Structures are given as C-alpha cells and as structure tokens.
C-alpha cells in the first residue's frame, strides 16, 4: 500500500517526513473537520466513494474543515455534497480520526452514510479541488487510499454493521419559565431562543434521512419539531406516554403529578425500538434518563454516561437493522 501514515501535510523535521511535535506536554485546539464514508452494495460487494485531489495527487475520503461555529453534522453533510455531488444520509457514527496537519492537530468527525438518491450515478464535474469521484470496492479502496487514517475509517466501518436505523431522543427546546407562565402548562410555548433553535434543529434531523416524529403533546415539544416536520413532510404523531403534564395550582393534588409514569414511557420507547424505523422522539427532561436507560437495557449496553440532557440536546441511538444490536450512540447540542 502507498499509505502516507499520519503525515498528511506535515512539516518535515529531523529524520524527514516525521510530523513536527508542537507544544509538548500542552494542548493545541485541533483543526475540526467532518466527513462521511459513503457506501453502497454493488455487484461485487460493498463499494465506497473515493475522491482524488489534483493539487496533492492523493486518494482520500470526502471530508473538510468546519466553518466557524458550524455544527459537525451540518459540516459533514456539506463537505460530502461539495466533494462528491451526492447528499449523504448519515448512518452510524464512526470513531474520529486525529493526526497532525502542518504540525497542528486535526480532528475529523466521521459517519457512515448512504446516498440520499441511491439510483443516481456520479455526475461530478472536475474542479481544482476534486478531479475524480469514484465508487471502489472496499478491499481495493483500502489499497488505493493514500493515508493510513483514511484506511482506519474504512476498517472501522467494515468492523460493524453497515445497515442501521437511528432513534433520536430529543429534549424539547428552550421554553418560557414555568413560574412566569400563567396558563395551562401543556400550552407553554417555546421562547425566542427555542424558536431559533427549532429552525437549526430541522437541518440536523434531516441529515439522518426523513425519520418520523413521535412527540409529547405539550406545545413546547410539538413546536420544537414543527419546522422539521413541515419542511420535510415527516410523518408525525403525539404520544401521551411521552407527555409530562403539570396542571395549574387549582387542580387536585393527584392531578399535579405527571400524567403518565416513567414505566409507561419506557414501554412506549421499547416499542419504537422494536419497530426498527428511523424515529425522532421529543419529550421532557424528566423522562429522558428513563428512555435512554430503556434503550441501553434493550440493547444490552452499559450505563457509563449521564443519561440526562439539557434543553435543546439529543441522543442518537444507532441500531443494527439485521441483528437489533447497538451500533453506535452519539450526543449533540443544537448549537455547535
């Protein structure tokens, strides 16, 4: 193989070709980038998209630096579209790659992905950044790739399930304060920040294809996913089990409890996991840890993380379509 190891763009030092070590014993904020390994099943097996860059004469995977304050999900989708002409649908997240770029650390966030329109062939005009986009059998891709860190991305993909489905667990966005809201709690709306984030959320959710939405009936939850459901015509329904209802002070003491308990919510979430469909679940902070605990229990995964979420954050649980096993878990805030 003609791999160049981790010396892509490195500064030559003593010994020649060895990456220059900088800030020994200290920290350098890494250059942040995002990309996706585009794959499909071809006649001869799994195929992967490679690109050739004319200025370097190398073969690599589609990726690029994130723009200022750009979310890594948005950046990865944008870079793949710009470098291949294809829109990726993100699958399971792959481990990031870290290496030196001109003596400075670089961190690339990776996802497995499939083309949004798998029936369309490559129609990409050569330019000064990418002169060739090509589907290559996975085994051949490993040999053709110039850099070891790209080969590792391929190996990480091949080590796990190719076909997965995502279940996104979202805590609703920022809403008006309970103590200042005088109306029915179910009708408490998003505030200005929440409405702004709802628009940004739409782009993030669409990166996973067109998952359906199952949401709490509370206004702050339905409004959180409204821009996404309208823009992408996503199938949507409300679920009483995911709805936390805290009636006004004049209600009976029993009525001040959550309308539905954690066990009922867990059962509803387990049913969604069992259906095997890409789904966004929007609910309340009280229920998020219970639902993630149910997911990890169903998928036989350890509880090593704090399972709760801040408002406007979400988990993505990737499940292997064939085996039903856990394929990956990622957590994001809407604001990068």
Tell me the mean pLDDT in the region 153-161.
98
Tell me the mean pLDDT in the region 182-206.
95
pLDDT digits (tens, 9 = 90+) for 105-131: 999 999 999 999 987 778 899 999 999
| Whole-model pTM over 0.95 | no
Q: Which candidate, 178, 172, 204, 176, places its Cα nearest to that of 312?
A: 172
Question: Beta 88-101 vs 104-115: how paired, if at all?
Answer: antiparallel
Tell me the mean pLDDT in the region 323-330.
97
Tell me the mean pLDDT in the region 181-193.
92
Q: How confident is the model at residue 95 (pLDDT cuts 50, 70, 90)?
A: very high
How confident is the prediction for the chain on average, in pLDDT?
Answer: 90
pLDDT score for 223: 98
pLDDT score for 123: 86
pLDDT score for 53: 97
Q: Which domains does the chain have, with CATH numbers?
A: 31-159 (3.90.79.10), 164-333 (3.40.50.1240)
Q: Which candidate, 221, 105, 106, places its Cα nearest to that of 169?
A: 221
What's the CA dihedral at 319, 243, 219, 188 to 10 degrees?
-130
Instruction: Indicate the DSSP class of residue 55.
Output: T
pLDDT score for 235: 97
Quote the distance between the C-alpha of residue 296 and its chain's center: 18
pLDDT score for 62: 98
Asked if pLDDT for residue 8 goes beyond 70, the answer is no
Q: Which residue has the higher pLDDT, 119 or 153?
A: 153
Spatial contact of 173 and 197, defined as CB atoms under 8 Å apart: yes
pLDDT digits (tens, 9 = 90+) for 211-266: 999 999 999 999 999 999 999 999 999 999 999 976 555 544 444 444 458 999 99
Q: How confident is the model at residue 12 (pLDDT cuts 50, 70, 90)?
A: very low
Tell me the mean pLDDT in the region 127-153.
97
Q: Which candidate, 253, 275, 195, 259, places its Cα nearest to that of 227?
A: 195
Tell me the mean pLDDT in the region 169-186.
90
pLDDT score for 257: 41
pLDDT score for 243: 97
Q: How far is CA 67 from CA 22, 76, 104, in A?
A: 24, 11, 17
pLDDT score for 253: 43
pLDDT digits (tens, 9 = 90+) for 17-71: 445 566 778 899 999 999 999 999 999 999 999 999 999 999 999 999 999 999 9
Q: How confident is the model at residue 13 (pLDDT cuts 50, 70, 90)?
A: very low
pLDDT score for 102: 87
């Amino acid at each position: 193989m003609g791999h160049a190891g981790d010396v892509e763009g490195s500064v030559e030092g003593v010994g020649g070709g060895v990456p220059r070590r900088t800030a020994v014993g200290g920290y350098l904020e890494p250059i942040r980038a995002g990309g996706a390994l585009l794959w499909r099943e071809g006649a001869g097996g799994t195929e992967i998209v490679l690109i050739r860059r004319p200025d370097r004469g190398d073969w690599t995977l589609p990726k690029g630096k994130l723009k200022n304050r750009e979310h890594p999900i948005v950046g990865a989708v944008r870079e793949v579209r710009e470098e291949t002409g294809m829109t990726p649908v993100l699958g399971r997240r792959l481990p990031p790659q870290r290496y030196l770029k001109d003596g400075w650390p670089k961190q690339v966030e990776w996802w497995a992905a499939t083309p949004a329109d798998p029936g369309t062939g490559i129609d990409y005009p050569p330019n000064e950044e990418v002169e060739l986009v090509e589907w290559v059998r996975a085994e051949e891709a490993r040999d053709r790739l110039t850099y070891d860190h790209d080969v590792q991305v391929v190996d990480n993909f091949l080590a796990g399930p190719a076909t997965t489905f995502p279940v996104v667990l979202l805590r609703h966005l920022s809403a008006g304060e309970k103590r200042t809201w005088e109306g029915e709690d179910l009708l408490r709306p998003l505030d200005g920040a929440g409405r702004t984030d709802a628009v940004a959320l739409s782009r993030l959710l669409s990166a996973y294809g067109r998952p359906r939405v199952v949401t709490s009936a509370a206004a702050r939850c339905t409004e959180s996913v409204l821009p996404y459901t309208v823009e992408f015509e996503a199938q949507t329904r409300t679920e009483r089990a995911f709805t936390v209802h805290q009636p006004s002070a004049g209600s009976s003491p029993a009525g001040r409890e959550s309308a539905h308990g954690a066990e009922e919510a867990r059962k509803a979430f387990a049913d969604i996991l069992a259906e095997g469909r890409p789904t966004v679940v929007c609910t309340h902070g009280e229920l998020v840890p219970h639902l993630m605990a149910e997911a990890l229990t169903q998928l036989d995964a350890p509880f090593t993380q704090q399972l709760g979420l801040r408002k406007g954050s979400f988990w993505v649980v990737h499940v292997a379509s064939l085996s039903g096993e856990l394929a990956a878990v990622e957590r994001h805030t809407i604001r990068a």
